[in-house]
Amino acid sequence: MSKKWVYLFEEGNAKMRDLLGGKGANLAEMTNIGLPVPPGFTITTEACNEYSSTGVFPEGMMDQVQEQLAKVEEKMGKKLGDPGNPLLVSVRSGAKFSMPGMMDTVLNLGLNEESVKGLIALTQNERFVYDAYRRFIMMFSDIVLSEDTPELKKGNFEAIFDELKEELGVKGDTEVNAAGMKDLVGRFKAYFKKVTGSDFPTDPMEQLKLAIEAVFKSWNNKRAIDYRNFHKISHTLGTAVNVQTMVFGNMGDDSGTGVAFTRDVATGEKVIYGEFLMNAQGEDVVAGVRTPVKIAELARQNQAIYDEFLRIANLLEDHYKDVQDIEFTIEKGRLFILQCRAGKRTAAAAVKIAVDMVNEGTITKETAIARVEPAQINQLLLPRFDNKDKEAAVKAGRLLAKGLNASPGAATGIAAFDADIAEEWGLEGKRVVLVRPETNPDDVHGMLASKGILTARGGATSHAAVVARGLGLPCVAGCETIRVNEESRLFTVDGKTLKEGENISIDGTTGEVFAGIIATIEPNVSENMELSQLLAWADELKTLGVWANADYPRDARKAIEFGAKGIGLCRTEHMFMEQERLPIVQEMILAETPEARKTALDQLLPFQRSDFKGIFEAMGSYPVVIRLIDPPLHEFLPSHDELLEEVTRLEATGGDAQELAEKKKMLAAVNSMREFNPMLGLRGCRLGLMMPGIIEMQVRAILEAACECKKAGIDVHPKIMIPLIGHVNELKATRSYLEPVAKQVQKEQGITVDYKFGTMIEIPRAALTADEVAREAEFFSFGTNDLTQTTFGYSRDDAEGKFLLKYVEDKVLPVNPFQTLDRDGVGKLVSWAVKAGREANPELEVGICGEHGGDPESIQFCHEVGLNYVSCSPFRVPIARLAAAQAAIASQGPADK
């Protein structure tokens, strides 16, 4: 007896991928769990390998094919080539791994002049049948035979069809009627004969044999080999061949087709959800020519089929333990399942279904967590535009422009063109959207009073974007098509004008800007019990801590509300930018004597102390990482260009001499601090070392605030973070200034504070020398924004607009490295630094505070390299909690189903 080369679907199962290929194994699995899959069989990969080495079919293989085919025919009550009730089959390749470059599907195999007649009788649709026939001839010629006879390539048949259409005076395929299609079949056959010298194969067994051989041969065609070489797939796996019965939903009123989900994929409710059409093919449902009806209607039309479908739906959800998206066809009163797969669902449904299924006992918490896309969570946390209203606005031409989606969420309100008016209107209780060419520290008070920000210039790390994300305010930045006219208080775009005081709506998630108001859906997180439940489970499972970046007490409170367990980055410079402080900060910067500088710093101290106290109070006993001043000082001074314009104007017009002198003095000061590349200039610890007074004041403020809190019974744990370290000596030198201050304050207050000193790792050199740095630091926090900038040599502000987005579009870069951490480059530095740092200092605590801390894929990486925590914007904390749990689950191997 020869080896078994051919398996009926019911003879296999999901685990037999090696022998039956991925597709064959799945068809077997579905068959075996009792689904009415159109019957068929799979020829094994071993048969393919045998063919590859010998060039002929293995002995007995075609006998087994005929044997199994007979069983299929019996099941279907049809016979291949039967003029009365012809069986048609599809032939498909199916290797262990899905593999483009191999043979595609041949449908409707078994058609010839005889069976065509039978099919017409059955479907009463001559056009459909001839259409199927001409497609079959073309497909078969192209896919099965054109490797040896290039004249049989698809294009040649299409040319014949085009010729016919021209003769008929029609343009589209659909305009060709039954007679035309029949004519076309004739022409195709004639062409086939002309090219090959033989008739198109009419014997269905001959057709089948040729198709099987073509699949075998396709395993070793050039594209397939290249693909396997590239993806490092073994050439010895071979491919299986799947031969499956064709079924038709358009064989009369006892036939039909439809699609349904096992639960409502919009809301997550546990009800069957879908639609169908009787006497129709799948294309008809998709094409929208006829309107499908609700699945419930099927019960009225055919209770038995409906009941059967319900049974299958439950079976499927039970088997795959997830919502299923099921395609079905009814052929002459017989239900067939053509395909089933996990159903796509909305964010809300995803969360509800996952939690429900755990509660129903169907899946584990791990599976529930793995099922929900972290990015989806975002949708549940932010206000968003009502889709219908938005679509209406687009149709009405109210979509004005598209900028950079700098901070997600939707905002509506009246446009304000400067910060003062925004603040004024905001205080009056009006909803305001601040519109600026770009923002700077002077605008912060207006931003605080607004519901959203729109700027014409600046990238995803521009002032507007960074502040907006920090505040959780929607922001569209770098919207370069709008022309803001500050004097006339309006902007124009494409000939349209939007004036101050008029309504505007911006979508920070998409970057869209609309005229007028769009209805907005406000989220209600705390009432979303399923989400809270899912995140609680996530917290049980994750090993990474999730902290938040927060500069203000209210951000800190928001972070706590969203589940953060610490502050991973509190930027102190935003505090400097507040309106009442900025003049003192400027005084400090411009001071000409150490005494004058000291006086200004002394004035800033109480402000900073109360800032920190507020944050400590909000965070209680959670750790708070406070970063010492980072940006270059000129960011706190007036704009160079504006000063230059004013000075030039005053000089040209002989303006007020005193004003000119003052402006000139300021311009000189700004000039002296101006830098060619401020990103790589005098900032971070460099600034601290050149001007230690500022950081000494900050450390004093931190320790004094901590002492006050401890007196009030709050067990604070401040961590003082020194930015932009590149050489360990910078850290040593900075600590040598700061430790005495910290000790002094504790002595003055008579209180001991549990404080730590650590550093950002955001300069490649710090990562490369992490062992040395770790000996001087109690913690590391990866500043992956700057680390990405320096590792790639990209200034984010310049790069995103000028080439980075184009790079991503052109696939020069796989992703935007500012959104998802670049594993091959930046990631190499991070994992090296974690390893070397921990080896040098086993007590070292390591986290991340760049924006990647809120990106699920990057969080996966952070888990893999063993960070202690990720820190992200408060609004991304829930996403990070979920992603961290998923990472923990993934690292324990594949989840159960």
Lookup: tokens for 448: 């605080």
- How far is it between the farthest Cα atoms of the chain? 110
What sign has the CA pseudo-torsion 650, 656, 661, 665? negative
Region of 226-234, 252-260, 807-815, 856-864 interacting with a second copy (CB under 8 A): 807-815
Q: Which of residues 442-481 bind a second copy (CB under 8 A)?
A: none
Nearest distance, CB of residue 852 and a second copy, angstroms: 16
Active site residues: 463, 849
Nearest distance, CB of residue 65 and a second copy, angstroms: 46
573 sits near a second copy (criterion: CB under 8 A): no
Is residue 679 within 8 A of residue 789, CB to CB? The reply is: yes
Helices marked H in 171-203 — which ranges? Answer: 178-196
806 sits near a second copy (criterion: CB under 8 A): yes
Listed in sequence order, the residues at least 6 apart from 586 whose beta carbon sits closer than 8 Å to its beta carbon are 636, 637
User: Which residue among 789, 860, 873, 886 contacts a second copy (CB under 8 A)?
Assistant: 789
641 sits near a second copy (criterion: CB under 8 A): yes
Give the DSSP per-residue string, 433-494: EEEESS--GGGHHHHHT-SEEEESS--TTSHHHHHHHHHT--EEE--TT-EEETTTTEEEET
Region of 12-20, 78-86, 136-144, 763-771 interacting with a second copy (CB under 8 A): 763-771
773 sits near a second copy (criterion: CB under 8 A): no
User: Which residue among 45, 156, 769, 886 contacts a second copy (CB under 8 A)?
Assistant: 769
234 sits near a second copy (criterion: CB under 8 A): no
Region of 102-110, 317-325, 785-793, 842-850 interacting with a second copy (CB under 8 A): 785-793
Rounded CA-CA distance 337/546 in Å is 44
Rounded CA-CA distance 161/180 in Å is 10
Lookup: tokens for 124: 């009463």
- 623 CB neighbour count, 10 Å cutoff: 21
Please say which residue, 141 or 461, places its beta carbon nearer to a second copy. 461
258 sits near a second copy (criterion: CB under 8 A): no
63 sits near a second copy (criterion: CB under 8 A): no
Instruction: Pick the closest to residue 36 from 340, 344, 343 (CA basis).
Output: 340
Nearest distance, CB of residue 594 and a second copy, angstroms: 17
Q: Which of residues 827-886 bind a second copy (CB under 8 A)?
A: 828-829
Listed in sequence order, the residues at least 6 apart from 315 whose beta carbon sits closer than 8 Å to its beta carbon are 33, 34, 35
764 sits near a second copy (criterion: CB under 8 A): yes
Nearest distance, CB of residue 115 and a second copy, angstroms: 50
Please say which residue, 48 or 830, places its beta carbon nearer to a second copy. 830
Please say which residue, 706 or 829, places its beta carbon nearer to a second copy. 829
User: Which residue among 26, 262, 790, 886 contacts a second copy (CB under 8 A)?
Assistant: 790
Listed in sequence order, the residues at least 6 apart from 430 whose beta carbon sits closer than 8 Å to its beta carbon are 413, 414
Rounded CA-CA distance 690/688 in Å is 6
Q: Considering CB under 8 A, how many residues would be counted as binding a second copy?
A: 57
Region of 39-47, 317-325, 521-529, 797-805 interacting with a second copy (CB under 8 A): 797-805
User: Which residue among 97, 812, 815, 897 contacts a second copy (CB under 8 A)?
Assistant: 812
User: Which residue among 387, 543, 621, 729 contacts a second copy (CB under 8 A)?
Assistant: 729
Lookup: tokens for 30: 């579905």
Interior/surface letters 55-68, b for 16+ CB within 10 angstroms, e for the rest: eebbebbbebbeeb
Rounded CA-CA distance 534/67 in Å is 52
359 sits near a second copy (criterion: CB under 8 A): no
Please say which residue, 383 or 638, places its beta carbon nearer to a second copy. 638
Region of 208-216, 587-595, 782-790, 859-867 interacting with a second copy (CB under 8 A): 782-790
Helices marked H in 169-253 — which ranges? Answer: 178-196, 204-218, 222-231
User: Which residue among 341, 743, 802, 897 contacts a second copy (CB under 8 A)?
Assistant: 802
Please say which residue, 573 or 730, places its beta carbon nearer to a second copy. 730
> Tokens 């000193």 correspond to what residue?
757
In a 3-state reduction of DSSP, which class is residue 704? helix
CA 219 from centre of chain: 34
Nearest distance, CB of residue 435 and a second copy, angstroms: 20
Region of 159-167, 195-203, 351-359, 818-826 interacting with a second copy (CB under 8 A): 818-826
Nearest distance, CB of residue 792 and a second copy, angstroms: 5
Instruction: Pick the closest to residue 631 from 777, 466, 741 (CA basis).
Output: 466
- 350 CB neighbour count, 10 Å cutoff: 25
594 sits near a second copy (criterion: CB under 8 A): no
798 sits near a second copy (criterion: CB under 8 A): yes
Please say which residue, 299 or 644, places its beta carbon nearer to a second copy. 644
Rounded CA-CA distance 511/338 in Å is 40
Region of 55-63, 72-80, 596-604, 805-813 interacting with a second copy (CB under 8 A): 805-813
645 sits near a second copy (criterion: CB under 8 A): yes
Nearest distance, CB of residue 814 and a second copy, angstroms: 8
Please say which residue, 325 or 772, places its beta carbon nearer to a second copy. 772
Interior/surface letters 254-290, b for 16+ CB within 10 angstroms, e for the rest: ebbbbbbbbbbbeebebebbbbbbbbbbbebbeeeee
At residue 389's C-alpha, the angle toward residues 386 and 395, to 5°, is 140
810 sits near a second copy (criterion: CB under 8 A): yes
Region of 74-82, 244-252, 611-619, 726-734 interacting with a second copy (CB under 8 A): 726-734
Nearest distance, CB of residue 117 and a second copy, angstroms: 55
User: Which residue among 768, 805, 840, 865 contacts a second copy (CB under 8 A)?
Assistant: 768
Nearest distance, CB of residue 682 and a second copy, angstroms: 4
Q: Which of residues 648-707 bind a second copy (CB under 8 A)?
A: 648-649, 651-653, 675-682, 686, 689-690
Rounded CA-CA distance 170/166 in Å is 6
Is residue 559 within 8 A of residue 568, CB to CB? The reply is: no
Rounded CA-CA distance 685/758 in Å is 12
Nearest distance, CB of residue 626 and a second copy, angstroms: 21
713 sits near a second copy (criterion: CB under 8 A): no
The backbone torsions φ and ψ at residue 251, rounded to the nearest 5 degrees and listed phi first, read -100, 25
Nearest distance, CB of residue 824 and a second copy, angstroms: 5
803 sits near a second copy (criterion: CB under 8 A): yes
User: Which residue among 811, 842, 893, 894 contacts a second copy (CB under 8 A)?
Assistant: 811
What sign has the CA pseudo-torsion 448, 452, 454, 457? positive
Nearest distance, CB of residue 790 and a second copy, angstroms: 5
- CA distance readout (Å), 224 to 233, 234, 240, 593, 607: 10, 11, 14, 75, 68
Q: What is the radius of gyration, based on Cα positions, of the chain?
A: 35
User: Which residue among 793, 842, 893, 894 contacts a second copy (CB under 8 A)?
Assistant: 793
Query: What does the binding site for a second copy look like in residue numbers (CB under 8 A)?
Result: 641, 644-645, 648-649, 651-653, 675-682, 686, 689-690, 724, 726-727, 729-730, 733, 762-765, 768-769, 772, 786, 789-795, 797-799, 802-803, 806-807, 810-813, 822, 824-826, 828-829
